[in-house]
Chains A and B, each alone.
Chain A
Amino acid sequence: MPTDLLILVSVLIFPGGLFAFSLGLMLKGVDRRVAARLQGRVGPPLLQPAFDLIKLGFKRTMVPDSAAPGVFLAAPLIGTVAMLLAVALVPIAGVYTPDPRLGNLLVLLYLLSVPGVALMLAGSASGSPFGAVGFSREMALMLAYEATIVLVVAAVGLRTGLAEGGVVTFSLAEIVRHQQEHGAYLLDPLMWPALGAFLFFYPANLGIVPFDIPEAETEILEGPLLEYSGPALALFKVMSALKTVVVLSLGIALFCPIAPHGIAGLAVWLASMVVLLAVGISAVRVSIGRMRIDQAFSFFLKWPLLLAAASLTVVVVV
């Protein structure tokens, strides 16, 4: 098969596109279910996120009079497309290695910030004051957590690059291959600070408690999403589901890409996604309350940044 076609398949069918879409919705369902169980509730059916999407698909998208219609409708598209590309950039150990022409870790980092930018666009284009507040909060939060994730990625890339006898590498495929040959960074104490910092990045990037500040329902009524309805809102939900897949699989690729080849590898990967989701997201969001934006900002400039900087220093020094 020509490689161009392979790239297309990886973006549209597996592991991006259809596969990531269904997986993201399922993960959202699992998350709601696990959170409900932890709270002593039964929780919705696993397919509830899919049902929600179908329902939204049948509704109209209302564009407020005060909105800038072009940007308002383009924002969810931009975010979703960026996430579709991003999924195809993350390797699945033993199953999928992305084509180098798709891009490397740096491209992924840029793509990962697109959903946040899309939400900011949406908030400012909706013409609602709540959207404006959401915009400024999203921006503050991004400023706070981006530094952390960049340092974490640099630490992992540097560790791999140095061990391979070169300089820093930003090829995820190489990072995965190195770990498959020399053991996962999960078991490498030197990388634990980076792992810790990365775990803080999860809730902030995915916008869940305690960092669901830009959308805080009881404060600013979902902020940027307030004015969205119908298919446009559904697109944002798809974006969020895809983002869950990207961020979780990035975590696995960076720290624990150990799996056999073929179907068994896929099964192991899926299992680790679910475990990471339950531990890193569901359990966190039920056991804590929301921070204020100033609290979150200073928090991120303290602990996660400190951990990330420490890990980079450790990698350079040792």
Chain B
Amino acid sequence: MTTAVTETYTIPVGPLHVALEEPMYFRIDVHGETVARVDINAGHVHRGIEYLTTKRTMLQNVVLTERICSLCSNSHPETFAMAAERIAGIEIPERAALLRVVAAEVKRIASNLFNVALLAHLVGYETLFMHVMQVREIAQDIKETVFGNRMDLGAICIGGVRYDLDEKTTGFLVGSLDRLVPEIEAIVQTYRTNGSILGRTRDVGVLTREQAIACGVVGPVARASGVAYDVRAVAPYAAYDRLPLEVHVLTDGDVWSRAMIRLAEALTAIDLVRACLRDLPDGPTRLAETPDIPPGQAIAKSEAPRGELIYYLKTNDEPRPERVKWRVPTFMNWDALRFMLAGAKLADIAIIVNSIDPCVSCTER
């Protein structure tokens, strides 16, 4: 070729795009097949939920926050309840703390597998996509059988949990986890060796450790860039301080590393659930009475499947909170997309965006 491609044109990715599970708008200036500039435009699924929380009682808000987003639907009420409990000075029963971990980790397994499956779909490897989704179905069955729902578990209440494990559900849970482990291990092996996956994800969308720290990314995105930050380890809540938690860290910071971190964390989640079931003491699963939340303010944070989730709660004399504000992991992570997409190929945009596992409805509430 004697003449270089000099023309730059603009490609809209979103707000509705097959590769995006949720509406998000990227205005991408493309130079040939290479990305020259990215504009990220948000706000398409703003539903005013933050405002809505101040119009609901504390109890109603547990239900409302669960509906912010389906993939992290357990993390939101859990963190909200933690903030409320902190204001009221409530210690939840030991059995409830462990059951909260069970609910959170089961959600994490399903959420991480979902993202890893989407990666295969975006790479055009439909068979692998369907296989991973099939494996995720085991986690969905757990949710449906133990909690009664496939997405929103309804597991959390202020002062404990709203579900309990009996002999039957425990047996099903253990059996399902035993089925999951070899399946996920096989998926890990596939993602580690398959040429199609490696060719499209290695050294793609790289976020260096310095950039990761500068952007303040959280969750698997941070841990794939060598930042060993996991709320469950640095600020343990529920029962994480007494559980064998392994924080996985990789240093390459590419799309592949992020997928591998998610798979490894799905396996760790299974270990955590098993440890919970082993140590599960008898006792109440919640406080005897629904507690009143006194005036005050508190911050609580937890590790959602996508990373650190922070809730700020301010209450006054009324049954409704005065202010609820939350910061979701995607809010921190999507700014880093600018670094990941810089100089990327057009074909890799969807793969890179998916690699931060964006949860747009959490972010825009």
Partner-B contacts on A (CB < 8 A): 38-41, 129-130, 132-133, 136-137, 209-210, 212-213, 216-221, 286-295
Choose among B33, B200, B345, B346 the residue that contacts A290 (Cβ–Cβ < 8 A).
B200
User: Is B134 among interface residues, defined by CB-CB distance under 8 A?
Assistant: yes
B199 pairs with A291, CB closer than 8 A: yes
Q: Are A288 and B11 in contact (CB under 8 A)?
A: no
Within 8 Å by CB of B345, from A39, A40, A210, A294, lies A294
B126 lies within 8 A of chain A by Cβ: yes
**Using Cβ atoms and an 8 Å threshold, which residues of chain A touch B134?**
40
**Are A218 and B125 in contact (CB-based, < 8 A)?**
no
User: What is the size, in residues, of chain B's interface with A at 8 Å between Cβ atoms?
Assistant: 34
Q: Is the CB of B350 within 8 A of A218?
A: yes
A216 to B200, CA, bound (A): 14
Known A287-B127, A289-B123, A289-B128; judge A295-B199 contact (CB<8 A): yes
Closest CB of chain B to A43's CB: distance in Å? 12
Cα distance, A297 to B33, chains bound together (Å): 13
B127 to chain A, nearest CB (A): 5
Q: Name the residue on B nearest A292 (C-beta).
A: B347
A209 touches B199 (CB 8 A): no
Q: A219-B349, A289-B124, A290-B196 are in contact. List 10 more A-B contacts (CB 8 A).
A: A38-B127, A130-B11, A136-B32, A209-B126, A216-B124, A217-B18, A289-B125, A290-B125, A291-B196, A292-B347
The winner among B122, B124, B345 for most chain A CB atoms within 10 A is B124
CA distance A130 to B14 in the complex (A): 12
Residues of B within 8 A of A (CB): 9-12, 17-19, 30, 32-33, 120-128, 130-131, 134, 194-197, 199-200, 345-350
- Give which listed residue, B124, B130, B195, B197, contacts A218 with CB less than 8 A: B124
Chain B residues within an 8 Å CB radius of A38:
127
Q: How far is the CB of B11 from chain A (nearest CB, A)?
A: 5
Complex CA–CA separation, A137 to B346 (angstroms): 11
Report A-chain residues with C-beta under 8 Å of the C-beta of B345.
292, 294
Q: How far is the CB of B20 from chain A (nearest CB, A)?
A: 10
User: Nearest-CB distance from B241 to chain A (Å)?
Assistant: 41
* 17 CB < 8 A contacts A-B: A129-B9, A129-B12, A133-B346, A136-B32, A137-B33, A210-B196, A219-B122, A219-B349, A221-B18, A287-B127, A289-B120, A289-B123, A289-B200, A292-B199, A292-B345, A293-B347, A294-B33
Question: Which residues on the B side are within 8 Å of A290 (C-beta)?
Answer: 123-125, 196, 200
Bound together, the chains give a CA A38 to CA B131 distance in angstroms of 11
Cα–Cα, bound, A130→B12 (Å): 9
B190 to chain A, nearest CB (A): 11
Q: What chain B residues lie within 8 Å of A39 (beta carbons)?
A: 126-127, 130-131
